[in-house]
Structure 1
Amino acid sequence: METELPEDQYRIPLGPSEGEFRDRGSKFVAVLRPVRNEAEALAVQEEQRRAHPKCNHHCYAYRLGPGPDRWRTNDDGEPGGTAGKPILGQIDRAGISDVVIVVSRYFGGTKLGTSGLINAYREAARQCIEEAPLGVRTITTTVTLEFGYALMTPVMGALSQLNLEMAAQDFSERATVTLELPRSQAAATLRSLKAAVAGVYLETVDDDYAVDGLTVSVETDG
């Protein structure tokens, strides 16, 4: 049984995989690719059109992001509901996102019927997922700290104290440090950071607390 993930994490494929299913002479060649947006997903379908020019059908499904709303299926000329939906069903059964699966069909001369097509596209997609390395993506909050050099020592000391790694840094006229924090921990971490920089007790710091000379901006991913 899979461990339930925190609300700011979801499962993703870490790399590509392939699968193949045969039925009565027809061959269904499937590829799975990690993607982050619709353009990348559609590019995989075009890639498969070029890779398998003898196939008349390159059916796909994709799901993006942590929520339930960003998805699409395409039967690419197959009878409605016989290809894209079975592929998506396997994606959702596996509980993964940021993924596209494209299945290209080589026709073997024998019609498979509705149930045969559904089974073939489903099985080709399932094989891809079974072969794919899976991992977890964390939805992050980007915190940008901007400050003068008078605060350099307390800010760097606070980052070290809290074991926070800088995602980016720019030390020009004013210093800018960017942090990527797990969304569920961002508010509490930012309070701790402000308390450490200001040298005050954590209990005195709330979400609106401001440190003189320190500008904080927050942007949530996803």
Structure 2
Amino acid sequence: MDQGNYYQTIEASGQAEFKDRGSRFIAIAYPLKDADDFKKILAAVKKEHPKANHHCFAYRLGTDGNTFRVSDAGEPSGTAGRPILGQIDSRQVTNVLVVVVRYFGGTLLGVPGLINAYKSAAAMALQVTPVVRKPVLKTCHLQFDYTQLNEVMNVIKQFDCTIIKQELQLFCVMDIGIPKHRFTESLMRFGDIRNLVLTEPAVISN
């Protein structure tokens, strides 16, 4: 996974279908925020395809390459989840979930056939889904007086920062994501704002 200033992901879902000897493999690629988001999406897919024999999936989250999950969902071990994840990685995308729904067609495909089917379905779904490039963000926590809000917002706009959450009262608190490649200069600008307190948590990617 690229440890640089940008990462690749998708912003919309895409779907494709692969058929082999009567079995249908419907693959859907989704942008993914977190593990809770995954649970909701998988539940929705199962509701939409209640008669499918298998709901296999793989996802990858974050820019460090360490957060992923695969499931063969009843298929022979290693024939579904890993091939799906392999396609996510070959597209070099993250924050992506691919679910492949299988309707069994009556003929056993064998291990090589299953690997090929899940790999092909996932690849086709990712091919029809546009990839977007986004900056890696570093989160910061800001505390400042309400009278300084305009100054703070000016810096946020200037450096294309993302507001993750905020509480705007007489005393304001705000969590923001700063593009990694503009981090040092933005900290200098925030440092020019009198009495603003800034603390740095971890690197994120949303």
TM-score (norm 2): 0.82
2:140 to 142, 151, 167: 142
Per-residue CA deviation, residues 161-216 of structure 1 (Å, 9 max, x unaligned), is x9356747766434667654212322232124435x5xxxxxxxxxxxxx5x3323
Instruction: Please state whether the residue corresponding to 2:119 is helix, strand or coil.
Output: helix
- Cα contact 2:80–2:114 (8 A) shared by 1: yes
Evaluate the alpha carbon distance shift between residue 157 and residue 131 of structure 1 in structure 2; reply closer, same or farther with a 3 A threshold. closer
- Cα contact 2:18–2:120 (8 A) shared by 1: yes
Structure 1 residue 9: Cα displacement: 2.1
Report the equivalent of 1:204: none
User: Does 2:196 match 1:217?
Assistant: no
- Cα contact 2:146–2:168 (8 A) shared by 1: no
Instruction: Please state whether the residue corresponding to 2:201 is helix, strand or coil.
Output: strand
Per-residue CA deviation, residues 35-84 of structure 1 (Å, 9 max, x unaligned), is 11122223322222222222111111111111121111111111111111
Structure 1 residue 156: Cα displacement: 2.7
Stretches of structure 1 that go unaligned for 5 or more consecutive residues are: 198-210
- Cα contact 2:98–2:122 (8 A) shared by 1: yes
Structure 1 residue 117: Cα displacement: 0.5
Stretches of structure 2 that go unaligned for 5 or more consecutive residues are: none
Cα distance in 2 for partners of 1:165, 1:35 equals 22
Query: Stretches of 4+ moved more than 4 A in 1?
Result: 168-172, 174-179
Report the equivalent of 2:151: 156
- Cα contact 2:142–2:196 (8 A) shared by 1: no
Cα distance in 1 for partners of 2:176, 2:13 equals 29
Evaluate the alpha carbon distance shift between residue 7 and residue 27 of structure 1 in structure 2; reply closer, same or farther with a 3 A threshold. same
Evaluate the alpha carbon distance shift between residue 81 and residue 6 of structure 1 in structure 2; reply closer, same or farther with a 3 A threshold. closer
Structure 1 residue 109: Cα displacement: 1.2
Cα distance in 2 for partners of 1:157, 1:83 equals 48
Report the equivalent of 2:75: 78
Evaluate the alpha carbon distance shift between residue 20 and residue 190 of structure 1 in structure 2; reply closer, same or farther with a 3 A threshold. same
- Cα contact 2:3–2:64 (8 A) shared by 1: no
Cα distance in 2 for partners of 1:221, 1:106 equals 40
Evaluate the alpha carbon distance shift between residue 93 and residue 215 of structure 1 in structure 2; reply closer, same or farther with a 3 A threshold. same
Evaluate the alpha carbon distance shift between residue 184 and residue 78 of structure 1 in structure 2; reply closer, same or farther with a 3 A threshold. same
User: Does 2:128 match 1:131?
Assistant: yes
- Cα contact 1:143–1:181 (8 A) shared by 2: no
- What percent of counterpart residues are identical? 31
Cα distance in 2 for partners of 1:54, 1:36 equals 28
Evaluate the alpha carbon distance shift between residue 113 and residue 157 of structure 1 in structure 2; reply closer, same or farther with a 3 A threshold. closer
Cα distance in 1 for partners of 2:97, 2:174 equals 35
Instruction: Please state whether the residue corresponding to 2:8 is helix, strand or coil.
Output: strand
| Structure with max Cα Rg | 1
- Cα contact 1:33–1:100 (8 A) shared by 2: yes
Cα distance in 1 for partners of 2:118, 2:38 equals 18
Greater fraction strand: 2
Cα distance in 2 for partners of 1:130, 1:194 equals 44
